[in-house]
Chain A
């Protein structure tokens, strides 16, 4: 029995043909995967289903009947629920208040709340969705916050549930719990659409999978009958390497030494607690951890954009903290930084590609002639970078925001690597980057390691850490809870350590 059927959905934004006659059928009691690279049209399609956009052409049928969905309200009325990647919860409300928000059922809050409480207790039992109804949302771990979102959708009578990149913020164990929950929903006859770019999840939990590329559906197959390699190739349109090829590390002298480092945030809360480690030439050290466990602050403290409250950072003997060296001075000493949040830190969105390609290096003699910027040098330098790093389109004058995430990242990487650093700090190098570019970026990072540089890699993608790192440090609650050589590391073990269980106990 069909829960949701899309027929010939077509949507254009100016010159961008975001959805080209997309048809999709999702059966009741099934989990349907939707994968595709960034910009393949997945989000547009989901926004059409949920009423944020109206399709230019095409038909949406819910439970066999054609419906018009012109607003999220209409989508909810049709029995469609959506769990966004970034939760839509009021942080300082309780779970119960969040769930009834917008569906209070009358002018008086108390009676609505009481009715909702009974209903929710029933729903929670039925689907195994235990959530403390009176807890304040901000005090819940992300995994539970996500459950609140799911419960909210179910409470509004959703029979079709759309989950947009639901595991981006979860530890592996939390993701497994989510998958069990999805299986439960499937058994209850719900239709679930799982939007993701992680092949592992598609293989683990879906019944069927639809692959999109350039706005069109390129394949729809039963998950049992396909392989991750086949799906990846369909997504990208050519053969891809899922595994990074690399030889053993040839480790040299210690370049970066971190000693008892502590970083506090604006409120004085310690985010990095007593962290010590060493980084040596010729190795990639991965920092694994669930997002928000101090990795970002550690990276920023090393790069010089955050001031540590205690401890030492020594780069080839010089103490960066005591000398109070700013990021510019650190760059001169050979410490480069590919920031985690590309759009807020790594690039200036309103600037051209060539102006972005000198960010942080703009006062180098190579880019200046006397008092003035040497525009010819800046442009030809950017052209060179674009050639070397396959940035497309290779037009230095184009605004950086006109490039895809992958191409922006390649340019940032080119900027930092071309400066020939001794130590490279890399945060989330492939966030928002498509599979084709991921492969390229990973190969570059390994090449840099083989050239005898030291790399510190912070990533929330376990696959990335496992694929690139020679040594893995795991952070939880601001502390390094363990260190594993690549050979000893498994997803399972890392997952337990990321959840805060110490190395010894995890083994």
Chain B
């Protein structure tokens, strides 16, 4: 019998992530110190920058929306035992689908454009995920390798399209013309204004609600349907899946398609909600942050929501930080993000083991 490392649920889901986060922040503080700034000031700036005002909260949730979509994308694949590194590329191509619909049909009313934009984003994202999925299921090509490569292919393809095909004539910058009004996702401050509540103008928009709906549906699918059950069986134990008559290769393809659909949601927020045009590199790393979000959120929609808001806050607070303290540039924020990922993911057991030991010592008395 090996030493068990089981913790009570609340410690597992609450205390442990908090400890990891605290450790990451302490270490970040040390680095800030070395850079010659006061860590306490930096920390205050980070928090107020992310949550201190309506504007800050709006931006934080706008970033979080992207991370919810990509976090869910990574998590669904992970539950099926697949490490999808390609959410970035799937979000990029998914956004192409959404963007094209918006360009062509933007003059239609919003309620008609939205479902088509959602479908186009989902379809394009799923299509981009399908090729690595098929290669894994039928040819055994490792999904980690193929999805990474498909990120590069997606980037190259989008550069070509934006520079040579979709670019608005008569300008230098590789981006399309602006979408017509029907393709604009209503911003939250606009919606609130209609019911008489005043809120600072931010890109925080309706797709946040769509992301929450997606999270709810993912939960329902994974834990309340027979297909979700089959997906989790295949992810946990492929041998048992075969025994149960579940085809692991079909699960691989199905899970990756769903993963691509979710990644494709990013375009709704980023393109329809914020940029209102197709442009180069609009996912800007959200696909990779999604990996960290899924990891920290334990691949569960509730955890992913929390982690996405945290990373949204880091993104927003971080940009405020680099604005106010010039010695800490944007890369510093990436360092903090990296430390959070390091502590929450790779070094998870640093605190788990002593914590478990603490519980073991407590336990015999309360038998």
Interface residues of A (CB under 8 A from B): 12-16, 18, 43-44, 303-305, 326-331, 337, 339, 344-351, 355, 358-360, 362-363, 367-368, 371-373, 375
Contacts and interface: CB of A to CB of B under 8 A. Distances in A.
Most buried by B among A15, A359, A367, A371: A359
Contacts of A44: 1
A112 B355 CA distance: 46
Contacts of B224: 372-373, 375
B242 A327 contact: yes
Contact of B244 (A16, A18, A327, A371): A327
B229 A373 contact: yes
Contacts of B359: 14
Contacts of A12: 364
A351 B236 contact: yes
B237 interface: yes
Contacts of A347: 240
A15 B243 contact: no
Contact of B367 (A15, A344, A345, A375): A15
Contacts of A348: 232-233, 236-237, 240
B247 A15 contact: no
B243 A327 contact: yes
21 contacts: A13-B3, A13-B4, A13-B360, A15-B363, A15-B364, A15-B367, A304-B245, A326-B245, A328-B245, A330-B245, A344-B237, A345-B240, A345-B243, A350-B236, A351-B232, A358-B229, A360-B243, A360-B244, A362-B226, A368-B226, A371-B225
B230 interface: yes
B345 to A, nearest CB: 19
Contacts of B38: none
A363 to B, nearest CB: 5
Nearest to A326: B245
B240 A14 contact: no
Contacts of B225: 371-373
B247 to A, nearest CB: 7
Contacts of A331: 245
Contact of B233 (A330, A359, A372): A359
Nearest to B242: A305
- Interface size grouping (class) on chain B: 20 to 34
B239 interface: yes
Interface of A (DSSP majority class): mixed
B243 A337 contact: yes
Nearest to A372: B224
B1 A367 contact: no
B224 to A, nearest CB: 5
A367 B229 CA distance: 12
Contacts of B229: 355, 358, 362, 373
A367 B226 contact: yes
Given A14-B4, A373-B225, A345 B364 contact: no
B230 A362 contact: yes
Contacts of B247: 326
Contacts of A346: 240, 243
Contacts of B220: 372
Interface of B: 1, 3-4, 220, 224-226, 229-230, 232-233, 236-237, 239-240, 242-247, 359-360, 363-364, 367
Interface of B (DSSP majority class): helix
Contacts of A372: 220, 224-225
Contacts of B239: 305, 344-345
A337 B242 CA distance: 12
A339 B226 contact: no
Contact of A13 (B1, B230, B244): B1
A327 B246 CA distance: 8
A371 B225 CA distance: 6
A330 B245 CA distance: 9
B244 A359 contact: yes
Contacts of A359: 233, 240, 243-244
Contacts of B237: 344-345, 348-349
B233 to A, nearest CB: 6
B1 A303 contact: no
Nearest to A47: B1
B360 A14 contact: yes
Contact of B245 (A329, A351, A373): A329
A153 B245 CA distance: 46
A305 B243 contact: yes
Contacts of A330: 245
B204 to A, nearest CB: 32
A326 B359 CA distance: 46
A295 to B, nearest CB: 17
Given A326-B247, A329-B245, 6 more contacts: A16-B1, A305-B239, A362-B226, A371-B225, A372-B224, A375-B224
B221 to A, nearest CB: 9
Most buried by A among B1, B220, B245, B364: B245
Which 6 residue pairs across A and B have the least CB separation, nearest first? A328-B245, A360-B244, A327-B245, A345-B243, A348-B236, A14-B363
A496 to B, nearest CB: 34
Nearest to B236: A348
A304 B247 CA distance: 12
Nearest to B243: A345
Most buried by A among B3, B232, B237, B243: B243
Nearest to B1: A13
A373 B239 CA distance: 23
Most buried by A among B240, B246, B363, B364: B240
Nearest to A331: B245
Contacts of B4: 13-14
